[in-house]
Chain A
Amino acid sequence: MSPRPSTPARAASALALLVLLATSSSAAKGGKPPGAPSPPAAPPAAATVEVPTDPPAEPWRATRPVPGPEPEFRAPDFERFVLPNGLEVLLSTRRELPLVTASLVFRSGSAADPPGKEGLAQFTASMLDEGTRSLDALTLSERLKRLATDVGTDVDLETTSLHFDALSDKLDESWEIVAEMLASPTFPQGELDRVRKLLQADVVARRARPEVIAGRVFRRALFGAGYAGRPTEGSEASLAALTRKDLVAFHAARYAPNDAVLAVVGNVDRATLEPMLVRHLGTWKKRKVRSIPAPEVTAATGVRVLLVDKPGASQSQVRVGNVGVPRTSPLYYPTLIANAAFGGMFTSRINLNLREDKGYTYGARSGFEYWPSTGMWVVSAPVKAGDTRESVAEILKEIRELAGERPLSPAERDYAASSLVRGYPSSFETQGGTAGRLATLGWWRLPDSWLEDHPAAIRSVTAEQANAAARQVIRPDHLVVVVVGDRATVEEPLRSLGHPVTVVDEEGIPVPAGPG
């Protein structure tokens, strides 16, 4: 859909004035917190009122309570079926709430944008609700709102997804509309010109965000102008050049039911859902999809620093990393463990050092992206401008130690594995969470038993395996460092680290040396 504020706006406004302890939060939502207006009363009491009583001495509290028996994990039951048009469906029926969540994920994303047509996958997805065979943009929106069905789309490097949630008694009517969006969008020229302007403005708005620039320059440094180096949202110029014909062609080539998976979770069973899908998606035909050749990727060599000037910024956005491994790599599980201990959790090395010890940042982390033929890993931290050099130095030190004198200890491996394994069941708590797991399973063509086997696969990774994987991928002498910050403050200190520093623009292109 075209960029617009999420609604109802309640969630946004309720969170707008909250400040959180940690950045990675799945804050609880909930309806509006209601309450009676407070009656007029005394003026604010001074915060210095002393309460004389201290709590009693209770030495028994020094002993940590013993947990009860570990709950047995059983993955959610689900069914698989394939529609006549080749669409693969994974359904998990749950009856707690009168809701259904659906997530349809194609095996094409912005990596399928032809050279010079960056932003095409995104533009195409943004047009799905702008007119279909029988509905114009306004009517389509009105009908969905009347059903209270919220539809969204996401485009990433390798995926295009459409997801919605609906009241279960409105599922049939919702599919009638969503099916038209998928199978017969009309890409009306007038709407297309309007949406293009919105997408172009979004490109400009994103350029004002230091974390977006940091991510883009980092990916560009690793992947050049191809594959993951090209921004999903495209550029103002590439969007300007896209025509209706391009969108129609992309839709025809890439929106294939036989090249997608559909995960459905909630208050509907197969006997109801399957005929509903067959009825509504019958005109959406199977087609041949051309595969996209895997990109050639060479990991960055040496250590180099790319600096983007953000005059006056009170913080610098720091990224450090390199090319990673594909999802199919045998290093997948070992790197999951290594990353969790190194930078994937609040209590991992990177955050305990940069935040809880040094106070350089509100939060520092590391993460791996796993794609079909390659991947990347990155440490990211927004840090106080004056602490930029020390922050980069600490990150480089942590990387060096992980690969050298301070590999993960068995205790760190156990801690990370415990957190991942014991936390895994809660990812099925919501319908959306379960739909995400099912879509992942289908998209990667993992075995059905994967949902159930995932914890055992984590548990099977030893500290040695995690360390071997870390040494293979996280190499202290081969790193790209990106800093987006106030050049006047950070450049000279960064140069004192002893690695080459190149000043680049927001697209990662070197800026010619000038008098300033």
Chain B
Amino acid sequence: MSPKSIWGGLAAVLLAPAGVAAAGGEQAPSIPSIHYELANGLDVVLHQDRDLPLVAVSVWYHVGSKQEQPGLTGFAHLFEHLMFQGSAHHRGEYMELLIEAGGQVNGSTSAERTDYWQVLPSNQLELALWLESDRMGWLLPALDQANLDNQRDVVRNERRQRYENVPYGLARKYIVEGIWPEGHPYHHLPIGDHADLERASLDDVKAFFRRWYVPQNASIAIAGDIDVEATKALVEKYFGSIPGGEPAPALEPPPVHLASETVEVIEDPNVPFPRIWLNWRTPPIYAPGDAALDVLSSVLTDGKSSRLYRSLVYEKRIAQDVAAYQASAQLGSVYTIVATAAPGHDADELKAAIDAEIERLRAEPPGAEEMERALNGWRKGFFSGLEGVLARATQLNSYLHYLGTPDHVAEDLDRYLAVTAEDVQGAVADWLRPDARYVLVMTPKAAVAEEARP
């Protein structure tokens, strides 16, 4: 059976398209790819899928806010913005030609890494390689104080828009500060603080670029309608002469558990209802316990019959919503349960009800049907995650970043499917301890704040 193409006049599929395995049996997700390194250390991953004449180019630099120096929070992200201000051989807006070519373009910065991507018609692949290589090698000649000052203003407005002028928007900041000790690479958000953004100088920009934006510390994943050999030659042509630099050194993992429970209450006139976040430190991404905690999230809050939704929202009606999720990262992860009080209820009630459900899981593993629902959801999510060349290019870069190998989809799914009810129970006992967590409450009312204090 050949994939139904929406495009005329294309060559047949050479490598198997993503997601397809042997007929008859249960399909396994995969993103067939080749991975190699240029002489200067740049990691290259190619995934061919000729079904549509589209290509995604994803470039990852293994630097994020975790490498920022004290007093320069927000710098990695501010720098990301400067990567869109032109480079030596293409001055002006980075996106200009890509948008004209019908492309989508963006970038993002997390604690871990900074990524840049574009999706565009495959006949324009070389345009993206030209532009990406130019800013990897020749960014600085095009940068000046005016660019820096302009994007500093833009980024400070991003902070206002996405963190300050949004109800509960600063909760993320309180959580990273509450759960990671001062001086820890994750203790601050990638968006940074206004004073630090104000402090960033053009010299800081140059030093940051020279240290981190080097082939040894980067990878490029190209997914879609490509000719593999021709693409290899183009990557060599555009990226091969950039000096390699140094890779990022690994960072020290932190202490495992928090030493106690801390409760912080923030009164904020701009939040409509009390909301509570319970936060725990959990194992690094991919370590034992990581997948079990993800499955726990489904058991706790995925669907009306999930433990917490059913208890807090459906039956007791003390909450409007509840969600459990884990933000997994290299130096350690954060597990969060967040609930918003229904009118007339407060954070204390939510906390007690959440703790009761956690205790229940500590005493007894989830049932077979709960596990089946949770694992079916994860299985399907892995297939949904293969839709689109950008999703695949990003996934390949992500696996490469954390694991050193690009196509790990099937093994990753297996990691979830292997989780047992006892694993989930064990993860609760090991990680969701009532005496080792950071609890945040944001509330519009002083009265509730008083009650919520321990």
Contact = CB atoms under 8 A, between A and B. Distances in A.
Contact of B106 (A21, A68, A205, A355): A21
A209 B402 CA distance: 37
B305 A47 contact: no
18 contacts: A3-B321, A17-B176, A21-B107, A28-B395, A32-B285, A34-B398, A34-B399, A35-B285, A43-B251, A44-B185, A51-B243, A55-B137, A67-B126, A70-B123, A99-B380, A145-B376, A146-B373, A148-B373
Contacts, number: 442
Contact of B377 (A7, A22, A47, A56): A7
Contacts of A431: 387
A400 B373 CA distance: 57
A434 B382 CA distance: 20
Nearest to A199: B320
A36 to B, nearest CB: 6
A71 B53 contact: yes
A303 to B, nearest CB: 25
B102 A421 contact: yes
Interface string A161-176: 0000101000000000
Point out which of B185, B246, B251 has the most chain A C-beta atoms below 10 A from its C-beta. B251
Interface in B147-162: 149-158, 160-162
Given A56-B241, A421-B102, A8 B377 contact: yes
B320 A198 contact: yes
- The 10 A-B pairs of least Cβ separation, nearest first, read A35-B402, A422-B102, A359-B153, A9-B325, A33-B398, A71-B53, A423-B102, A5-B323, A28-B394, A41-B250
B101 A422 contact: yes
Contacts of B320: 3, 198, 201-202, 205
B95 to A, nearest CB: 5
Given A347-B96, A425-B7, 14 more contacts: A40-B253, A44-B185, A47-B212, A53-B245, A65-B126, A67-B101, A72-B9, A194-B314, A208-B167, A209-B166, A346-B105, A359-B157, A362-B162, A426-B102
B242 A37 contact: no
Interface string A120-150: 0000000001000000011001101111100
Contacts of B363: none
Interface string B56-89: 0010000000111100100001001100100011
A138 B111 CA distance: 39
Contacts of B165: 210, 313-315, 382
A37 B137 contact: no
B424 interface: no
Nearest to A73: B7
Interface residues of A, number: 135
Contact of A32 (B72, B123, B328): B328
B434 interface: no
B413 A76 contact: no
Point out which of A55, A73, A142, A345 has the most chain B C-beta atoms below 10 A from its C-beta. A55
A429 interface: yes
Point out which of A28, A314, A357, A362 has the most chain B C-beta atoms below 10 A from its C-beta. A28
Interface string A35-67: 111111111111111110111101001101111
Contact of A61 (B89, B105, B119, B164): B89
Interface string A247-279: 000000000000000000000000000000000
B24 interface: no
B190 A138 contact: no
Given A38-B330, A65-B130, A426-B119, A142 B100 contact: no
A383 B157 contact: yes
Interface stretch (A88-96, A237-245, A461-469): A88-96
Contacts of B314: 137-138, 194
B403 interface: yes
A382 B387 contact: no
Interface size class of B (residues with CB under 8 A): 35 or more
Interface string B9-39: 1000000011110000001000000000000
Interface in A176-194: 194
A418 interface: yes
B408 to A, nearest CB: 6
Interface of A: 3-5, 7-10, 12-14, 16-23, 25-51, 53-56, 58, 61-62, 64-77, 92-99, 129, 137-138, 141-142, 144-148, 165, 167, 194, 197-198, 200-202, 204-205, 207-210, 311-315, 345-347, 352, 355-363, 382-384, 415, 418-426, 428-432, 434
A312 to B, nearest CB: 8
Contacts of A425: 6-7, 52-54, 102, 121
Contacts of B154: 355-356, 359, 361-362
Contacts of B302: 7-9, 145
Nearest to B248: A45
B199 interface: no
B202 to A, nearest CB: 14
B81 A21 contact: yes
B246 A51 contact: yes
A139 to B, nearest CB: 8
A333 B97 CA distance: 23
Interface in B112-160: 117, 119-124, 126-127, 129-130, 134, 137-138, 149-158, 160
A48 B110 contact: no
B453 interface: no
B326 interface: yes
